[in-house]
Amino acid sequence: MRLNPDHFWTYSEWLFQQGALFNGVLLAMILSVLGFLFGYIVSVFKHGPSEGFLKVSQIIGQLFTVDLPKMSARRIYAVAKLAVKESIRKKVLVLVGIFVVGMMFAGWYLDPNAEYPARLYISFVLTATTYLVLLMALFISCFSIPADIKSRTIYTITTKPVRPLELFLGRVFGFTAIGTFVLAIMGLLSYIFVVRGLDHDHEVVSLDPTGRSGETSFDTRHRHTFTLNAEGRGTTNEVKGHRHIVTKVGDKAVVGGPIDDLTARIPIYARGLSFTGRDGEKNEGYNVGYMSEYQKYIEGDSLSRAVWRFEGVDKTLFKDVILYDLTISAFRTYKGDIVTPVGGLIHFRSTDGRVKSEDEPFKVKEFQVDRRSVRTKLKGFIEDKPADLDFFNDIAADGSFEVVIRCQDRGQYLGMAAADIYLRPADLQFWWNFVKGYISIWLQMFIVICFGTMFSTFLSGPVAVIATVAALILGFFGFFVDDLVKNTSKGGGPIESLIRLPTQMGSQIELELGNEKLQSAIFMLDRGLVTAVSRLKDAVPNFSQLDTSNFVAYGYNIFGGLLGRHLTIAFCYFVLTALVSYFFLKTREMAA
């Protein structure tokens, strides 16, 4: 998992500094104007220019003067109750049985030799839950109102006892209630499946004569080695993403259950990352030729360094030891010894550079988290003179300090990004992070229900399904549209691709039709279509950003600010779809 810069934003930064509030208000204004124009154009064909304007204005006025003030919670509850009963009649609870059957046979297909079984198990249950719940939300929300319209019961409902907005709210709340019930059962079963599937024991099969080190039995396709301290306690080495606590009881060593496989790390990230080149001067880091620009590299056996700057670290979060994790990578310019990992040096220093700790050597652990620590009482230098240091008094007196890493091996490179080192003051309970992962799934389900119900107010059931699926696809794969807009995708836009397919023209070949005007027209049409789709993409929720399954699977705490952003996005789309549905149902009422 790679953390992006937007993951570091707090809720207030996202809302104000990153322009979420401004963009949301601007989008609402644009959609309001477009909605009014669309309603006016439709009304003109029915009633004429002046009468059409009055009709549209009347509907808008009734929203604020009649329907909102006189909305009844009792009527909304009655509609929601009917929606729940309707969902049960459609046998949506069978979905739970399908999920249980899937978990029963999942063990046949989950790779027992996986390097990180916890990620595999968690990713499986979260992905399966997401797909099943979104499918359920799609079908129960898209076919309900069209069925009422087909049987003409909708006209009686909207004109007599229930107002249009109450009908939408009742349907959404009812479908959300049944979906929440199903999701809660699936979440509980998933948690039990993950915990039981990863739980295992080892026995000590060998212990050296000093009783300080040994080896465990080979269980669940792996074994561990361990070393004990003078008090008879220690941990095993990390295998398959977990360790075990080992305690010496009498002459025997007892191995506990697995730890570190189901975690929710609460990281403290650096505020910035800077680099120096081989000459010691500042630069932007080296690119070793990879297409991804996520990581930059420093050169080995030179003055090239990477410097992370931490600010405002609370010393009360740490006592005798400061825990931190490394996830940096290595790039080898020559193979040679491919078994020995690339080496590096790390030290901590004050922001003015006067005080620093001793260099600590380390070996890069690629594709895994290197859990490390530094004591608050440590050896170091004050203005290049050896001294005994206190971390928070000498190096980080105001909570700010820098971490410096350089590569030891000549001809090798170390790669890092801003998120590749972080402090670990504490770990949250895994079960709560798991719950927050399911809250994210619930928000996605809620948004799908809102969109499905909205589309069903003016489209037939199958067409509403297609429209909602289109919104889902744009939400999950909107990055492809962005690539088209930026001309980074080969093969051109939709019209150009339609020309290339029958002519069997590869995407790497320039389009040559022998007519410059025709080619220019095709490029312009493609640009217009892609831009229109891009604007449409911006109006639908970005489901890929709402997905937090990787946070849970890779053991990172889902930040409160991130969850708050997702809740805000879901609420805004709820309001948007409610207003659109109101106007379409109100139009049907007038037509009736």
- Percent of the chain having pLDDT more than 90? 42
C-alpha 170/C-alpha 582 separation (Å) is 12
pLDDT given at position 92: 85
More confident residue, 3 or 168: 168
Q: Which CATH number is associated with domain 265-427? A: 2.60.120
pLDDT given at position 441: 96
Over 50: is that where the pLDDT of 590 sits? no
More confident residue, 528 or 130: 130
**pLDDT band per the 50, 70, 90 thresholds, residue 591:** very low
Could you tell me which residues come within 8 angstroms of residue 46 by beta carbon, excluding any fewer than 6 positions away?
52, 55
Reported pTM: 0.85
Kindly report, residue by residue over 203-253, the tens digit of the pLDDT: 999 888 888 889 999 988 899 999 988 888 999 988 998 999 999 888 888
Kindly report, residue by residue over 365-376, the tens digit of the pLDDT: 887 888 899 999
pLDDT given at position 176: 96
List own/partner pairs for 458-464 with CB under 8 A and 24 or more apart.
458/584, 459/146, 460/146, 461/142, 461/143, 461/146, 461/147, 464/142, 464/143, 464/146
- Percent of the chain having pLDDT more than 70? 91
- Helix or strand run (H / E) with residue 466: helix 461-476
Over 70: is that where the pLDDT of 289 sits? yes
Written as one letter, the residue type at 503 is: T
More confident residue, 19 or 486: 19
pLDDT given at position 178: 95
Span between the terminal Cα atoms of the chain, in Å: 54
More confident residue, 224 or 114: 224
Kindly report, residue by residue over 165-181, the tens digit of the pLDDT: 998 999 999 999 999 99
**pLDDT band per the 50, 70, 90 thresholds, residue 471:** confident
Mean pLDDT in residue range 258-265: 89
Domains of the chain, residue spans:
5-197+429-489+542-591, 265-427
Kindly report, residue by residue over 324-351, the tens digit of the pLDDT: 999 999 998 876 666 788 999 999 999 9
Over 60: is that where the pLDDT of 158 sits? no
Over 70: is that where the pLDDT of 403 sits? yes
519-547 as b/e, with b when 16 or more CB fall inside 10 Å? beebeeebeeebeebbeebeebbebebbb
C-alpha 237/C-alpha 380 separation (Å) is 29
Burial class (CB in 10 A: 0-12, 13-18, 19+), 325: middle
C-alpha 490/C-alpha 534 separation (Å) is 17
pLDDT given at position 571: 95
pLDDT given at position 592: 40
Q: Which two tokens stand for residue 454?
A: 């909205």
**pLDDT band per the 50, 70, 90 thresholds, residue 519:** confident
Kindly report, residue by residue over 475-514, the tens digit of the pLDDT: 887 777 666 666 555 667 777 777 777 776 766 677 777 7
Average pLDDT, the chain: 86
